[in-house]
């Protein structure tokens, strides 16, 4: 039995009075009921909202729902008439890419058979990206009539929009196979043109997922990666966290005037010459217990000790001479100052390092060793930081086995899980091992449920390409109602990288389905998983560090932009590091990662440039501690 794709619908009520709570949103509620009781085959309402009649607010929601939420169809109700506040058509027209006048005419034609006043609707409809947007009138009765007049065409409209943006050939193959499957069942369509994977003979022969750029894939992931919130922690437990508040110093540093040198505290106006030594000021002694210094006197003082009252300069011991001693050299009686001191010389005044109430750390600071030291200095011992996201790792594949067991025939050892668990730990993220799923629906569903219930982001490896055992995308959609934001990226390795979001147990979850090949899984972890985790943990610049490097050999370029493993070496007197390739870059050869500290970001080959000559400056993404 082929399981149909869902169609996700967003309903936006545009009405000042509903927004202000002065009127009930009967039209929006009625439209949602109609959808959820099956007026459009396989459709369900996943987003519903209300905005006032403000063009910008309407546009924002339409853009957000199409671009970020990837909603299939947005129905607006209200704001389509002739009154000056009616701006829904203007907002819609300004953000759609293509108009769909047929839908508008169909609705108008039907409405005119009911009342001539229908001609006073200015509703428009159109396509933005992969989303169909339709303005319906504001009244409950007429919005229902309009929806009824177009409902039966919506599944097909969605199927065509989604396919045409991906691959025309597979669209037709899929649509033909549907036609022969269910001729008399008009809207028994398969939403996005992804066929039932159990019927291998009828599988799509080209991926229905558009091949998007790494930049846009990263942007999509980061747009969906949400900050998890904050928590108060003891400062010493916050290494690697992002600060969620401003931190101010509790006290001045130094809290008393302190000596910078080992020497003598003096009165500067006495100039050079003889001084009686009164005794000593040693670090740790309360300044109030010291005597006030008089002209002609000095006090021996050590670095960091409080300068006694009356003194206004410190003279280092090197600039003095002993004149008279007592007790067999245990006591200094008189010394000579050899260089005339200046007021304030070698004294740190109160608050000169840090003033009381000074901003010590701004919000969003990443807390490293020095920052924790600063918190200690400032006396701020509990702080507000961003929560860390929990990530779970799940390997998939019938052939994958735990590395600690003897290798069975036809099996290979699971390396991805170890690599990814370690990578997440290295970057300070709490990570959970979710084991290995078999390539069956039951096993994948069960393991995914387990992973989703205990983490914010689930990382799987394997099962995302074109084979009949590559079930992940299908299961995410059919069993979890996930929205797949992308399923292919123009990169090598990592082409079938898949990103989805879904609601599980009432919470939004992110899923990154990485390719099974060990090198592909590792590279895509650096490009998508770590940035997502950093964003969720409050980082303001979540992408990795990119520097320049000079290649040291000719490199044959791949048609796809390549992330080439390399060892960067800093040669003496050279400002830019030299990049040494780690050899054969096939996605299965994990040896290509051994001792690599960077990924060279190489452009895809062109007619003009097939081989990148040695000595070329390229971007290099840093993947280890340098
Ligand atoms: N007809 C096509 N075939 C393939 C395409 C394509 O576009 N059309 N893409 C290729 C690319 S690129 C990649 S990358 C792989 C991705 O495959 P999957 O993500 O579906 O992963 P699997 O098929 O499950 O496994 C691939 C490979 O990796 C090994 N593997 C899997 N898991 C682990 C693990 N945990 N530890 C170590 N090794 C693992 C697995 O045994 C396979 O050898 O698809 C190409 N095919
Ligand atoms: O893109 Mo696949 O990741 O070549 O190996
Ligand atoms: Mg596969």
Dihedral angle over CA of 489, 133, 36, 224, nearest 10: 40
**Range 364-376 average pLDDT:** 98
Cα 489 from Cα 76, distance rounded (Å): 33
Peptide bond before 150: cis, by omega within 30 degrees of 0?
no
**Range 288-298 average pLDDT:** 84
**537 with 389: CB under 8 angstroms?**
yes
Q: What pLDDT score was predicted for residue 288?
A: 66
Question: Which band of pLDDT confidence, cut at 50, 70 and 90, is reported for residue 204?
Answer: confident
Q: What pLDDT score was predicted for residue 623?
A: 98
Instruction: Tell me the CA–centroid distance for residue 397 and ligand 1, in Å.
Output: 10
Q: What is the CATH number of domain 258-348?
A: 2.170.190.11
Instruction: Tell me the CA–centroid distance for residue 417 and ligand 1, in Å.
Output: 15
**421 with 393: CB under 8 angstroms?**
yes
Q: Which of 430, 479, 419 is nearest to 455 (CA)?
A: 430
Q: Closest ligand to 468 CA?
A: 3
Instruction: Tell me the CA–centroid distance for residue 431 and ligand 1, in Å.
Output: 23
Instruction: Tell me the CA–centroid distance for residue 570 and ligand 2, in Å.
Output: 30
Q: What is the pLDDT of residues 34-80, one digit of tens each?
A: 998 888 888 999 999 999 999 999 999 999 999 988 899 999 999 99
The CATH number for 230-251+356-386, chosen from 2.60.120.10, 3.40.50.300, 3.90.105.10, 3.40.309.10, is 3.90.105.10
Q: Closest ligand to 492 CA?
A: 2
User: Where are the domains positioned within the chain?
Assistant: 3-187, 230-251+356-386, 258-348, 391-536, 546-622
Residue whose CA is closest, atom 4 of ligand 2?
493
Q: What percent of the chain has pLDDT over 90?
A: 83
Instruction: Tell me the CA–centroid distance for residue 466 and ligand 3, in Å.
Output: 6
Q: Which of 129, 145, 133 is nearest to 93 (CA)?
A: 133
Judged by average pLDDT, the poorest of 274-288, 308-322, 410-424 is 274-288
Is pLDDT of 166 > 60? no
Is pLDDT of 387 > 90? yes
Q: What is the pLDDT of residues 538-572, one digit of tens each?
A: 999 999 999 999 999 999 999 999 999 999 999 99
**CATH architecture under which domain 546-622 falls:** Beta Barrel (2.40)
To test the ligand 2 pocket, which listed residue (211, 587, 590, 604) has its Cβ within 8 A of the most ligand atoms? 587
Residue whose CA is closest, atom 27 of ligand 1?
517
Is pLDDT of 185 > 90? no
Judged by average pLDDT, the poorest of 209-218, 421-430, 490-499 is 209-218
**Range 190-216 average pLDDT:** 74
Q: What percent of the chain has pLDDT over 70?
A: 93
Rounded to 5 degrees, what are φ and ψ at 472? -55, -50
Residue whose CA is closest, atom 16 of ligand 1?
515
Question: Which band of pLDDT confidence, cut at 50, 70 and 90, is reported for residue 205?
Answer: confident
Cα 452 from Cα 473, distance rounded (Å): 15
Q: What pLDDT score was predicted for residue 569?
A: 97
Is pLDDT of 168 > 80? no
Q: What pLDDT score was predicted for residue 322?
A: 96
The CATH number for 391-536, chosen from 3.40.50.300, 3.40.980.10, 3.40.50.620, 3.40.50.2000, is 3.40.980.10
Q: What pLDDT score was predicted for residue 2?
A: 32
To test the ligand 2 pocket, which listed residue (490, 494, 585, 592) has its Cβ within 8 A of the most ligand atoms? 494
Ligand 1 atom nearest the C-alpha of 514 is 19
Residue whose CA is closest, atom 31 of ligand 1?
516
Cα separation values, 577 from 136, 360, 601, 615, 622, Å: 60, 35, 15, 11, 12
Q: What pLDDT score was predicted for residue 180?
A: 39
Q: What pLDDT score was predicted for residue 5?
A: 73
Instruction: Tell me the CA–centroid distance for residue 624 and ligand 2, in Å.
Output: 22
**Range 78-90 average pLDDT:** 96
Pocket lined around ligand 1, Cβ cut-off 6 Å:
395, 397, 399-400, 412, 414-417, 461-467, 470, 493, 495-496, 515-518, 520, 587-588
Q: Which of 523, 507, 397, 517 is nearest to 457 (CA)?
A: 507
The tokens describing 495, both together, are: 């082409």
Q: What is the mean pLDDT of the chain?
A: 91
Q: What pLDDT score was predicted for residue 186?
A: 34
Residue whose CA is closest, atom 12 of ligand 1?
495
Intrachain domains 3-187 and 391-536 with the same fold:
yes
Ligand 1 atom nearest the C-alpha of 587 is 14
Instruction: Tell me the CA–centroid distance for residue 144 and ligand 3, in Å.
Output: 45
Ligand 1 atom nearest the C-alpha of 395 is 35
Q: What pLDDT score was predicted for residue 385?
A: 97
Superfamily per CATH, domain 3-187:
MoaB/Mog-like domain (3.40.980.10)
pTM of the model: 0.73
Q: Which of 385, 418, 121 is nearest to 245 (CA)?
A: 385
Tokens 């099956």, residue? Answer: 38
Instruction: Tell me the CA–centroid distance for residue 461 and ligand 3, in Å.
Output: 10
Question: Which band of pLDDT confidence, cut at 50, 70 and 90, is reported for residue 203?
Answer: confident
- SS3 per-residue string spanning 86-108: CCHHHHHHHHCCEECHHHHHHHH
Q: What pLDDT score was predicted for residue 177?
A: 41
Q: What is the pLDDT of residues 479-496, one digit of tens each?
A: 998 989 999 999 999 999
Residue whose CA is closest, atom 19 of ligand 1?
515
């Amino acid at each position: 039995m082929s399981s149909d794709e869902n169609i996700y619908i967003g309903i936006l009520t545009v009405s000042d009075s509903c927004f202000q709570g002065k009127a009930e949103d009967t039209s929006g509620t009625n439209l949602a009921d109609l959808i959820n009781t099956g007026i459009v085959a396989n459709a369900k309402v996943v987003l519903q909202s209300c905005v006032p009649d403000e063009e910008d607010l309407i546009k924002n929601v339409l853009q957000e729902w199409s671009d970020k939420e990837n909603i299939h169809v947005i129905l607006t109700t209200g704001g389509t008439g002739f009154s000056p506040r009616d701006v829904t058509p203007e907002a819609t027209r300004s953000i759609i890419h293509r108009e769909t006048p047929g839908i508008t005419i169909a609705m108008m034609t039907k409405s005119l058979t009911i009342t001539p006043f229908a001609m006073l609707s200015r509703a428009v409809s159109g396509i933005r990206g992969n989303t169909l947007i339709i303005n319906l009138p504001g009244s409950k009765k007429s919005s229902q009539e309009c929806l009824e007049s177009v409902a039966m065409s919506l599944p097909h409209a969605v199927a065509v929009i989604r396919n045409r943006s991906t691959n025309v050939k597979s669209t037709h193959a899929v649509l033909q196979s549907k036609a022969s499957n269910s001729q008399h069942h008009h809207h028994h369509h398969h939403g996005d043109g992804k066929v039932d994977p159990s019927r291998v003979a009828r599988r799509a022969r080209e991926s229905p997922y558009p091949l998007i750029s790494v930049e846009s894939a990263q942007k999509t992931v980061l747009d969906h990666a949400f900050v998890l919130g904050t928590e108060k922690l003891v400062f010493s437990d916050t290494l690697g966290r992002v600060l969620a508040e401003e931190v101010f110093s509790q006290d001045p540093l130094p809290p008393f005037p302190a000596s910078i040198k080992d020497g003598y505290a003096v009165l500067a106006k006495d100039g050079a010459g003889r001084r009686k030594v009164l005794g000593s000021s040693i670090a740790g002694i309360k300044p109030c217990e010291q005597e006030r210094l008089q002209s002609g006197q000095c006090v021996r003082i050590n670095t960091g000790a409080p300068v006694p009252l009356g003194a206004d300069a410190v003279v280092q011991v090197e600039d003095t001479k002993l004149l008279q001693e007592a007790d067999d050299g245990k006591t200094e009686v008189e010394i000579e100052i050899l260089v005339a001191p200046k007021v304030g010389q070698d004294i740190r005044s109160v608050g000169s390092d840090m003033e009381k109430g000074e901003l010590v750390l701004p919000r969003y600071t990443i807390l490293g060793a020095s920052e924790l030291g600063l918190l200690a200095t400032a006396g701020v011992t509990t702080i507000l930081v961003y929560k860390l996201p929990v990530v779970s790792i799940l390997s998939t594949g019938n052939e994958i086995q735990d590395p600690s067991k003897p290798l069975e025939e036809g099996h290979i050892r699971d390396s991805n899980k170890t690599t990814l668990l370690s990578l997440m730990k290295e970057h300070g993220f709490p990570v959970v091992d979710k084991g290995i799923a078999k390539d069956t629906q039951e096993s994948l569903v069960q393991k995914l449920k387990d992973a989703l219930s205990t983490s914010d982001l689930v990382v799987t490896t394997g099962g995302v390409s074109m084979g009949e055992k590559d079930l992940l995308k299908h299961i995410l959609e059919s069993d979890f109602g996930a929205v797949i934001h992308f399923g292919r990226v123009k990169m090598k390795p990592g082409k079938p990288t898949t990103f989805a979001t879904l609601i599980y147990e009432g919470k939004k979850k992110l899923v990154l389905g990485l390719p099974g090949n060990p090198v592909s899984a590792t590279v895509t972890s650096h490009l998508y998983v770590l940035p997502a985790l950093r964003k969720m943990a409050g980082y303001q610049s979540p992408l990795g560090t990119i520097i320049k490097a000079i290649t040291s050999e000719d490199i044959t370029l791949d048609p796809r932009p390549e992330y080439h493993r390399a060892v960067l070496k800093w040669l003496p007197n050279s400002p830019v590091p030299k990049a040494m390739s780690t050899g054969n870059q096939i996605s299965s050869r994990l040896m290509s990662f051994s001792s690599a500290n960077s990924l060279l970001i190489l452009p895809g080959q062109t007619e003009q440039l097939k081989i990148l000559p040695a000595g070329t400056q390229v971007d290099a993404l840093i993947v280890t501690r340098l």
